[in-house]
Amino acid sequence: MASKKISVFFCQECGNETSKWSGKCPSCGAWNSLVEETVEKTSLKTRARTSDVKPTKLVDVTASNEQRISTNIEEFDRVLGGGIVPGSMILVGGDPGIGKSTLLLQTCQHLCRSNINVMYVSGEESLQQIKIRADRIGEFNDKLDLLCETSLDTIKAVVEREMPTVLIIDSIQTMFNEAVGSAPGSVSQVRESTGVLMEIAKGKGIAVFIVGHVTKEGTVAGPRVLEHMVDTVLYFEGDRHASYRVLRGVKNRFGSTNEIGVFEMRDTGLEQVKNPSAVMLDGRPENATGSIVTCSMEGTRPILVEIQSLVSKTAFEIPRRMATGCDYNRVNLLVAVLERMRDVKANRACGIFLGRSDIYVNIAGGIRINEPAIDLAIAIAIYSSEKDIPMDAKTIVFGEIGLSGEVRSVAMAEQRVSEAKKLGFQKAIIPYSNIPSVKNISGIEVIGVSNVKEAVDAISHK
């Protein structure tokens, strides 16, 4: 086996490897994302005897009845698709300080209570620091092993000796594999380290959680490089200054990626939020203009959120547009739709002029929603702020808006209306074509609208 050191370039975004630097990654198209690293290239002379390799018939493969390990944290289990699959690799990504270590330490606590052996490897904190955090969270039993180590060779040896059921690596950016020359956190190091952990996971059937930091600058290799290697990718997100955190699946080989888990960061660690709607609507202003409640489906769960908008005369040449928690381009599109609004029955234009106004749209509570079903609420919030008319606090609206101002049907209308009714709402303005699916719900007035103008009229006349 011959080996030699060569210099290659890795893309910080997608992990693509090239031999030449260029301003744009040839694979993913990201600009200025290539960094130079030295790697050792080993040419393998020995090859497996290809004649011995035979494919297996699918019907002959026996999958042992999938035994999932419950974390006993309902919100976490839901995102995982019903619990931890033994031998799987789960990447938990998120901004520094969002609560990844806290979440995983709490998971350890719960797993240990069900007599599962867990090993928590930290490359970032000392034993004392982990202990201080653990004391805030609560009591731990003796099933949890801690290891402060960054060398993967050592970790591998310890894991093979102790054989925990669940292994936690906090974080992958601190891990160091001596076989790779580059610094911890570099793309090749992160990739190789994950490879070693993968071997442990698949070879020994140990479930491995990997923590990965995401940075905007890309000075450390973002966990995006790993996304294609691991089985499950979860992102822990939320505003660091607000207490709510959302755990979201973006890839899951063993479950749906739609589900979210909602947590609240308290001084005693993360608390599950069983009723996110009530939390998201907490502290809603009364009789304020530019505020309306909508319902978004997060996986199978309806969540009511307040959409806020502020429209004010601009002091600049080009007005400012800002969207927090929702898609910026979508907001621009909805502004255009409002400007071109038509009264279909009277066959005349009735748009509102927004070209000289700054427009800010915000989803209260720090949650991110990309579902088009909140379109109608965004449009109505903007309308309400521009016209200075407060919207009824007991009304919810939802519906997707098309380019000609039509309100299109959305999925799972019934669940959305039921959730609104459960939280005491009295009126729901929904797409006209969704009316048949909600006819069984009583106790809440349901109004179907087919275009933006109708929605605006419906909400303005109580």
User: What is the closest distance, in whole angstroms, from the C-beta atom of residue 107 to ligand TYD in the complex?
Assistant: 12
Element (H, E) at 105: helix 100-113
Choose, by CB under 6 A, the member of 142, 178, 267, 388 that binds ligand TYD. Answer: 267
The answer to whether 192 and 177 have CB atoms below 8 angstroms apart is yes
How many angstroms separate the CA atoms of 282 and 273, rounded?
13
Q: Which residues make Cβ contacts (< 8 Å) with residue 282, sequence separation at least 6?
A: 365
The site partner of 96 among ligand TYD, Mg ion, none (C-beta below 5 to 8 Å per kind) is ligand TYD
Near ligand TYD in 246-265, by CB under 6 A: 265
Binder of ligand TYD out of 98, 169, 331, 367 (CB under 6 A): 98
The residues binding Mg ion (CB under 5 A) are: 101
Binding flag, residue 133, ligand TYD (CB under 6 A): yes
Measured between its terminal Cα atoms, the distance across the chain in Å is 80
DSSP letter at 380 equals: H
Residues 453, 350 contacting (CB under 8 angstroms): yes
**Strand 89-94 to 207-213 pairing:** parallel
Whichever of 94 and 405 has its CB closer to ligand TYD, that residue is: 94
Q: Which one of 26, 29, 96, 203 is in contact with ligand TYD (CB under 6 A)?
A: 96
Looking at beta carbons only, is 94 or 431 nearer to ligand TYD?
A: 94
Considering the rule CB under 6 A, would residue 136 count as an interface residue with ligand TYD?
A: yes
Of 80-88, 98-106, 275-283, 327-335: span binding ligand TYD (CB under 6 A): 98-106
Tokens encoding 417: 């209306």
Q: What is the DSSP string of 289-321?
A: BTEEEEEEEETTEEEEEEEEEEEEE-SSSS--E
Q: What SS3 class is residue 279?
A: helix
Q: Does 139 bind ligand TYD (CB under 6 A)?
A: no
Q: Contact, 405 vs 426, CB < 8 A?
A: no
Task: State CA 260 to chain mean position distance.
Answer: 7
Least Å from the CB of residue 51 to ligand TYD = 50
Over the window 352 to 391, marking each residue x when it contacts ligand TYD by CB under 6 A and - when it does not, the resulting string is ----------------------------------------
* Paired sense of beta strands 260-266 and 269-272, if any: antiparallel
Which strands sit side by side in the sheet containing 34-43, from one edge to the other?
17-18, 2-11, 34-43
Stretch that binds ligand TYD, among 97-105, 150-158, 215-223, 248-256 (CB under 6 A): 97-105
Q: Which does 384 bind (CB under 5 to 8 A by kind): ligand TYD, Mg ion, none?
A: none
Site string for ligand TYD, 268-287 (x = CB under 6 A): xx------------------
Q: Judged by CB under 6 A, does residue 194 bind ligand TYD?
A: no
The reply on whether position 292 binds ligand TYD by CB under 6 A is: no
Binding ligand TYD (rule: CB under 6 A), the pick from 16, 88, 101, 362 is 101
Q: Tell whether residue 451 is a contact of ligand TYD (CB under 6 A).
A: no
* 150 vs 258, beta carbon nearer ligand TYD: 150
| Angle separating helix axes 375-387 and 328-339, nearest 10 degrees | 60
Q: Two tokens at 298?
A: 């997060």
Binding region for ligand TYD (CB under 6 A)? 94, 96-102, 133, 136, 265, 267-269
